[in-house]
Structure 1
Amino acid sequence: MKYVWLFSSILLSISGCSLSADAPPLAEQRFDLLDADNDGVINARDYCDDTPSVAIIDNDGCPTYLLHESDNSLRIQFANDAAIVEPAYLEALDKMAEFLNLYPETSLELQGHTSSIGSNDYNADLSIRRAEAVQAQLIERGIDADRLTILGLGEGDLMLADSTETTQLVNRRVVGRVKGLKGDIKEAWTIFTRRER
């Protein structure tokens, strides 16, 4: 029994030596743990390459933005039972096209409206035709149709009760709402940041 125990202990010590002579197994790295743009988010989770060094970064490695204060909406009035854009609104359309070209990540939702005169079905169709008329003007100015969506609301969203010609005119409109505008990059505060007084 004494020899068996001595023999087994010699075998264990020999086998232990042979294991220590082999190189340790290498760990397999499945994800890119580097941070190529130095924004604090590893490449495997980073959805935005080359983020500015001064930007505040979200969990996806993308900069956060401040919304613009500028007016980037569109409002066009229409005559009774009409879907023709009057020349008075061409300058507003030029400015909207310029804005959309300046911010190619944005899109524009065109909401068509009518007054309450006429049937619901007719007004729903008229509101769509009005929005399509504005869409056609923007396409003429080089805006891709994929960036322009149409929403025909008919008489479902009156601004004022239809009691006079003036209030009816206010309700006959197309409103353009910009979607997807990020704004300016929100900068991170550092010890070198100066406050404006």
Structure 2
Amino acid sequence: MQEEVDIVRIPEDQLRILRNVLGERIYFFYSDKLQVEPVGGSYVFWSNGFALALSTITQAPGKLRTYINISADYRTCPREASTYYEFEINVSNAPLWQEGSLQFGKLSSLKIFSDPILMIEIYQNCNKAGERGRLHDCAMVFYSQSSKYMLQARQELVGGVNIMLNDALIETRIKELKLRHTLV
């Protein structure tokens, strides 16, 4: 079996984008179609790609809001017939501008208004040796002073991401995953 680090490493340019989130406030989740479904006594919001809208703590006059666009796309392992999921992360001045999937005036949004983000954990799990099918799962947990938010790949939808706001549900999900990076 190939080395796990060969296929779970998030590129340095994308980690740099996530580091810029630290100390910032998550303002909204924007999506073209943000949906909600009940899961184990709680709710999961999900979409096929979305943007985190960030507002800086010291917002300068005339400064544009920053959008961190995140989707979870599958890849095929070069040496195996399995697939795995990894995040695609980019930054722009508009929600999902580079993917061209959203049009202004037709956005769904989920208000967050969090405290500044103190830490981000990135999880990417691996199946046991010999298992086929989905090889990796990916998730991110954003921690603020008063709450946490989890983004997790939605395996049945290429590019899809689940958004979890319930602490108990987040704790249940991260028990199954392996921590890969911590940004503080």
Q: Establish whether TM, by shorter chain, passes 0.5.
A: no
User: Which has a greater percent of helix?
Assistant: 1
Larger CA Rg, structure 1 vs 2: 1
Q: TM-score, normalised by structure 2?
A: 0.23
The TM-score, its normalising length taken from structure 1, stands at 0.22
